[in-house]
Amino acid sequence: MRRGVEEAEIDRLPSDLLAHIFSLITCFKDLAQASRVCRKWKQGVEESLARREKLSFSGWKMDDESTTRLVFLAYSLKELDISRSRWGCQITDYGLLQLSMAKCVGNLSSVSLWGSTGITDKGVIQLISRATSLEHLNIGGTFITDASLFAIADSCPRLKSLVLWGCRQVTEDGLITVVNKCRKLESINVWGMRVPLNCFVALLTIKPALQIQPKGVVLHEDRFPIWPIY
């Protein structure tokens, strides 16, 4: 500080209190601008991100680089939402490959990639291989195949809910594998998928308490054979 220039009131705040103030800001553009004010503010913004347990980029115009940069600073992150909205988070497989290296990934309990059309098996498999604490996963609207479900079945033993809305390249083989191996799975959303009715019967044969969304699917268990449980 230059001699004779009075220090601003906000600059007198302790760094932890400054970080708390920045944690209340939900606009990432505002956070980016705040971090450019001075070194102390930049540190405060980074500390505020490090404390956050939830980050949602839904509705924000984000790309691989900007998303990755923020997630890498969020050391305590548990819930990550990078769903695509009308304006769109434009994350791709490359972004997921980068995100998989973040320190917080192993502690994530919830991830939503809903509607991210730039995402395929390549990105999902890489992320899932390290996000082994996941309980809730939304990959609806992406271009995944059974390969992603096989990876989920092997890497996510704590999974409780899975959204596959509109994943039309997924088959009954992938669904059966997930329900068989993810013992804690409670609900699965299969709206818009191209799977036969007997697949749903098979899922309920394996796990009778499983909630299959959307509701209202009429199942006649006596019409279909029992699928093997392994």
In a domain, 4, yes or no: no
- Residues 206, 126, single domain; the answer is yes
**Bridge partners, residue 30, by sequence:** none
Instruction: Please tell me the predicted confidence (pLDDT) of residue 7.
Output: 57
- Residues 121, 167, single domain; the answer is yes
- Residues 38, 104, single domain; the answer is no
Q: Is the pTM of this model over 0.85?
A: no
221 pLDDT more than 70: no
- Residues 31, 85, single domain; the answer is no
Q: What is the mean pLDDT of residues 64-72?
A: 90
Q: Hey, how many other C-beta atoms are within 10 angstroms of the C-beta on 7?
A: 8
Instruction: Report the CATH number at residue 38.
Output: 1.20.1280
In a domain, 121, yes or no: yes
Query: Which has the minimum average pLDDT: 19-28, 56-65, 70-79, 141-150?
Result: 19-28
pLDDT in tens, 165-200: 999 999 999 999 999 999 999 999 999 898 888 999
Domain count, the chain: 2
Structural domain of 170: 53-223
Interatomic CA distance for residues 165 and 114, integer angstroms: 8
Q: Which residues are within 8 A (CB) of 123 and not within 5 positions of it... i.e. 6 or more apart?
A: 92, 93, 94, 95, 96, 97
129 pLDDT more than 90: yes
- Residues 158, 215, single domain; the answer is yes
Interatomic CA distance for residues 168 and 166, integer angstroms: 6
| pLDDT, the chain, mean | 85
- Residues 129, 145, single domain; the answer is yes
- Residues 125, 37, single domain; the answer is no
In a domain, 46, yes or no: yes
